[in-house]
Amino acid sequence: MVAPIPADWRHAVCRTLSSHSLTSILIRQRARRDWQSLFPGTFHHEMVDVFIKALRNPQQTGRLVVTMDEPGIVYEFIFEHKSRAVYGKVNLQPNGDVIIYSAHRPLKGESL
Amino acid sequence: MSNPPNNWEAIETEEEVIIPTYDGKGISDVIKVNVPAFRDPKTGEIYLAEKALQILDDIKARHMGLISREELKLLRAHLRCTQKELCALLQIGEKTWTRWETGRERPSRSMNLLLRALNEGRISVPWLLAQRPKTKPFEQKSGIGRTWHVRQKMKPEGAARVLAR
């Protein structure tokens, strides 16, 4: 069910991403490649900034994903960047680390 | 380095770095680079962490002609200024230089030109100081007055080098 993403989860993810140290962030290879194809001029820190911006939005909606192998709470969501819709999937792990699984054009239209 | 799950394997993977054109709308080059990564043996998925992302971004920056993090550190050491003082000199946000040095942010292409000019001695600290806004709030907030003070305290050879620029 698509619903506003819980604030606790959003805030915790943003906290880790905002550290920008990249010591607590893993990016799946496919996500990096997809992002690079979508926005070839950007650096990785910009990708992280865009996710922070999206998740700071209290109106950001998403859907809980329970099919990932890694421990943690995963949400998928769609947000806009540079007038393009982007599908994101992020895992907040129990230790606070974050995995960015996806960052690409929505594959099923512009809704989850 | 972040802590991947215990069963993930440390591997090396080939990644493409896309170098954009000057206007950022096209691709001028694609470079292949081997970087460290982790692989989930169960799914075969590959994940990149800190080290790999830094390598990829540094290569991209270099091919875009952006001044490197190392060059920025050397420039700051050469000018004998703190990061905060350099931010004041360049009239940029207080922590921007720090983010450049750590690779958390990259200078824009236009700012890069200014940094290159400063690095190559084509513009000087006194020239930058002369460009500062005269408004008091800026001086108080930025600590630019301290920059000048620090520069005056430089060892003679350092000050001479800066002033000679």
Sheet strand arrangement including A73-81: A3-4, A61-65, A73-81, A84-92, A98-104, A25-28, B46-48, B27-39, B9-20
Is A26 close to B47, i.e. CB distance below 8 A?
Answer: yes
What ipTM describes this predicted complex? 0.90
Pairing of strands A3-4, B9-20: unpaired
User: A26: buried, middle or exposed (CB in 10 Å: 19+, 13-18, 0-12)?
Assistant: buried
Calculate the average pLDDT of chain B.
Answer: 82
Chain B contact set for A26 (CB, 8 A):
2, 4, 38, 47-49
Chain B contact set for A24 (CB, 8 A):
2
- Buried b / exposed e across B60-76, counting CB within 10 Å, b at 16+? bbeebebbebeebeebb
CB-based contact B129:B148 (threshold 8 Å): yes
The structure tokens listed for B133 are 């806004």
Residue written as token pair 């800026």: B138
**pLDDT tens readout for residues B28-41:** 999 999 999 999 99
Is A29 close to B15, i.e. CB distance below 8 A?
Answer: yes
Instruction: Count the Cβ atoms, other than its own, within 10 Å of residue B87.
Output: 22
pLDDT confidence of A31, banded at 50, 70, 90?
very high
**pLDDT tens readout for residues B105-159:** 899 989 999 999 999 999 999 999 998 877 654 444 455 555 444 454 444 444 4
Is B37 close to A29, i.e. CB distance below 8 A?
Answer: yes
pLDDT confidence of B3, banded at 50, 70, 90?
low
CA distance to partner chain A, nearest, from residue B24 (Å): 5
Chain A contact set for B49 (CB, 8 A):
22, 25-27
Following DSSP, what letter does each residue of B39-106 receive, concatenated? E-TTT--EEE-HHHHHHHHHHHHHHTTPPPHHHHHHHHHHHT--HHHHHHHHT--TTHHHHHHHTSS-
User: B36: buried, middle or exposed (CB in 10 Å: 19+, 13-18, 0-12)?
Assistant: middle
Contacts of A19 (CB under 8 A, 6+ apart): none
Q: First CA to last CA across chain B, in angstroms?
A: 41
SS3 A44: helix
Is B50 close to A97, i.e. CB distance below 8 A?
Answer: no
Q: Round to whole Å and give the CA distance between B135 and B1.
A: 44
- pTM of the predicted model as reported, rounded to 2 decimal places: 0.79
Q: For residue A20, what pLDDT is reported?
A: 67
CA distance to partner chain A, nearest, from residue B113 (Å): 18
Nearest chain B residue to A46, by CA: B105
Is B49 close to A45, i.e. CB distance below 8 A?
Answer: no
SS3 B126: helix
